Chain A
């Protein structure tokens, strides 16, 4: 039996150290710590420098101005705002307006984009050609130009208030805006909302139950149709039983303009139409390429199994197409949000217009205002892509 010579303490230690360096986990932890330190130091240095530079230029800095009265009017606000409210309130108004534009434009451009995308695949060549020209023309014109064209070429040319176009039911259109009846909540409305919520939950439960049963027994149940019935009929009935807990405030010509109801300014209309039309072209192309990416063989296989046409679309084509569609769709949705800042050209009070422009100019607090704006856009981008990534993971190919 040969004895192994004892390692000296020193060597042992060196061994530990070198082992630590070669250990990937420890090494990456060290690198990460260093990176973090550098970033923090850089940020600190940047902030300090900015402060010094601001001082050198005799500029005021800091966030103290946020609770100072802003003092200007805003033409369109989702949340209550009156002249004399604070800058912080202006920031909130800007955020809400930007989000409204983004949500409405995303919804409209998705619906329209899907329709145009399907039209491009139509075997009817007239439909396909019309869809194709639509896409080519709108996609290849600068968006800013389109926004201004809609604003000056359409909405600013509408009749003046006294000659307004009165569409039935309290809908009025003139060059000061689009006026619609505003809902006025009355007693019993919360109860009705509760009933609506219960019926929606019920319909979803039914759908899940039907899906499980289909898997278990192979028997299908028209869950979507029944569900829709529940969601529409039950609240409708409840609404009548509760004696219409919602009434409508009708716009009316009083003095110079229409008052009452909801007013949508021309700048909003122009922005939404232009933004939706523009984005729908890109979405149409995404839909088209997504569907075309599903190989013919899949369709033929579905045909051979004698699957009905709508099943082929819903169960064979769409799940595969979605995988191609979702990632570029995410970036289109993010583009809409960012492009909405072009609102400033026609004066719609979105975040950039009301905050980065007006508030910055009136208060002179460039750094905090720009930082807050960037923070908002960054947060929106990150959360939209987070949600879409989760969805993307779910529809990805699952190896079984």
Chain B
């Protein structure tokens, strides 16, 4: 009897077509927690401290969304899964959003039931080699054994690059970045390849980071950004505009330190961003002053960058003169206006 009941329940579960569309915000509010998917702990982007708290550039996007919804940046449950299963976990509604150095590609955007919101870091793929290997260019890697994460754009670019340059290679693959890095550090491969930001992040946690060098070549373009399920445009809007808000805040000079003073600013751009004029929040399903919370509790784009991955952090990715500088400073970090 029990078995029949169980089978029945299983069948019922299969039959039920879960309603995903248009309900994410309501579901999150009701749950009181935002389920945000990050990767296996990676310094700078989604780092895990010993006391179990998460921090980093990508983590702060989750915190920003949480602040916008709840007025509290810490109503987040972080789900840490390997990159190989990230899209399945999101598509099956185990996560509400994914924020983990994920490259926006056509296949991912159109065939996996997912939607990319925007780009929060412009990156490209590079190679890390031991300094004592004497290798100074990726073109010297012919015949090399290359460590690469599975299920990434990295492994596809790797194959393309070697094919285009008529070189051969043997991939050593794993879905777990820790196993891969261990293999690389043990000398199991000639080079470790990933997004350059990822390489800098990993290297910062090596026992002796100076013994590894980043080769000069950038072999791909990797626009990284948060992803949501396809079909809930309102939810995608919220995630997207929280990030746009952070970028606009930097551009307008609004930071976590001065946001309280700025709240009474008469500059109409600032007033619209912080909700004293107009009501951008209404269309997003949050309160008019949601960006005050986001900026005060989390920060503007520039603050996040400098705090987590900037030149003065162990990751040390300089911002000046790169694509990730504001558009007003020669970069391409650019957000549509809050109006």
A residues near B (Cβ < 8 Å) are 46, 49, 52-53, 56-60, 71-76, 83-84, 152, 156-157, 160, 175-176, 254-257, 259, 263, 265-267, 344-347, 349, 353, 357-358, 360-364, 366
Residues of A within 8 A of B171 (CB): 72-75
Q: With an 8 A cutoff between CB atoms, is B162 at the interface? A: yes
Q: Is the CB of A346 within 8 A of B179?
A: yes
Residues of B within 8 A of A361 (CB): 83-85, 87-88, 150-151
Q: With an 8 A cutoff between CB atoms, is B183 at the interface? A: yes
Q: Is the interface of B mostly helix, strand, loop or mixed?
A: mixed
CB-CB contacts below 8 Å: B59-112 with A? 83-85, 87-88, 91-92, 107-108, 111-112
- What are 22 of the A-B contact pairs (CB < 8 Å)? A49-B14, A49-B15, A56-B20, A57-B229, A73-B159, A73-B171, A74-B171, A157-B186, A175-B187, A176-B188, A254-B143, A256-B143, A256-B144, A256-B190, A257-B143, A267-B172, A349-B173, A353-B150, A353-B173, A357-B150, A361-B150, A366-B88
Extra A-B contacts (5), CB below 8 Å, given A57-B229, A353-B150, A358-B150 = A49-B15, A60-B111, A265-B170, A357-B175, A362-B156
Q: With an 8 A cutoff between CB atoms, is B286 at the interface? A: no
The 3 closest A-B pairs by CB, nearest first: A361-B151, A83-B159, A58-B113
How close is B219's CB to chain A, nearest CB, in angstroms? Answer: 14
Q: With an 8 A cutoff between CB atoms, is B141 at the interface? A: yes
CA distance A292 to B217 in the complex (A): 67
CA distance A176 to B190 in the complex (A): 9
Q: Is the CB of B144 within 8 A of A75?
A: no
Q: Is the CB of B150 within 8 A of A176?
A: no
CB-CB contacts below 8 Å: B147-190 with A? 150-151, 155-156, 158-160, 162-163, 169-176, 179-180, 182-183, 186-190
Q: With an 8 A cutoff between CB atoms, is B17 at the interface? A: yes
Q: Is the CB of B188 within 8 A of A257?
A: no
How close is B81's CB to chain A, nearest CB, in angstroms? Answer: 11
Assess A256 versus B141: contact at CB under 8 Å? Given A59-B113, A160-B187: yes
How close is B20's CB to chain A, nearest CB, in angstroms? Answer: 6
CA distance A154 to B150 in the complex (A): 24
CA distance A347 to B147 in the complex (A): 10
Q: Is the CB of A71 within 8 A of B156?
A: yes
How close is A71's CB to chain B, nearest CB, in angstroms? Answer: 5
B: number of interface residues (CB 8 Å): 51
CA distance A60 to B87 in the complex (A): 13
Q: With an 8 A cutoff between CB atoms, is B324 at the interface? A: no
Residue with the greatest number of chain B CB neighbours at <10 A, chosen from A72, A157, A254, A357? A72
Assess A83 versus B231: contact at CB under 8 Å? Given A346-B174, A357-B151: no
Q: With an 8 A cutoff between CB atoms, is B118 at the interface? A: no
Q: With an 8 A cutoff between CB atoms, is B329 at the interface? A: no
A176 nearest CB neighbor, chain B only:
B145
Q: Which of B17, B83, B112, B156 contacts A52 (CB 8 A)?
A: B17
How close is B152's CB to chain A, nearest CB, in angstroms? Answer: 8
A358 nearest CB neighbor, chain B only:
B150
How close is B97's CB to chain A, nearest CB, in angstroms? Answer: 16
Q: With an 8 A cutoff between CB atoms, is B320 at the interface? A: no
Q: Is the CB of B186 within 8 A of A175?
A: yes
Q: Is the CB of B91 within 8 A of A72?
A: no
Residues of A within 8 A of B176 (CB): 345
Residues of B within 8 A of A363 (CB): 107, 111
Q: Is the CB of A73 within 8 A of B143?
A: no
Assess A364 versus B111: contact at CB under 8 Å? Given A56-B20, A358-B84: yes
Assess A57 versus B91: contact at CB under 8 Å? Given A83-B162, A344-B175, A357-B151: yes
Q: With an 8 A cutoff between CB atoms, is B29 at the interface? A: no
Residues of A within 8 A of B170 (CB): 73, 75-76, 176, 257, 263, 265
Residues of A within 8 A of B211 (CB): none
Q: Is the CB of B172 within 8 A of A152?
A: no
Residue with the greatest number of chain A CB neighbours at <10 A, chosen from B92, B108, B111, B231? B111
Q: With an 8 A cutoff between CB atoms, is B23 at the interface? A: no
B21 nearest CB neighbor, chain A only:
A56
How close is B7's CB to chain A, nearest CB, in angstroms? Answer: 11
Q: Is the CB of A71 within 8 A of B144?
A: no
Contact bitstring B1-31, A, C-beta under 8 A = 1, else 0? 0000000000000110110100000000000
B83 nearest CB neighbor, chain A only:
A361
Q: Is the CB of A57 within 8 A of B113?
A: yes
Q: Which of B143, B172, B180 contacts A255 (CB 8 A)?
A: B143
Assess A358 versus B151: contact at CB under 8 Å? Given A56-B20, A57-B113, A75-B170: yes
CA distance A71 to B163 in the complex (A): 10
How close is B180's CB to chain A, nearest CB, in angstroms? Answer: 8
Residues of A within 8 A of B113 (CB): 57-59, 364
CA distance A267 to B14 in the complex (A): 38
Assess A156 versus B188: contact at CB under 8 Å? Given A59-B113, A255-B142: yes
Q: Is the CB of A72 within 8 A of B172?
A: no
Q: Is the CB of B143 within 8 A of A46?
A: no
Q: Is the CB of A57 within 8 A of B20?
A: yes
Q: With an 8 A cutoff between CB atoms, is B230 at the interface? A: yes
Residues of B within 8 A of A73 (CB): 155, 158-159, 162, 169-171
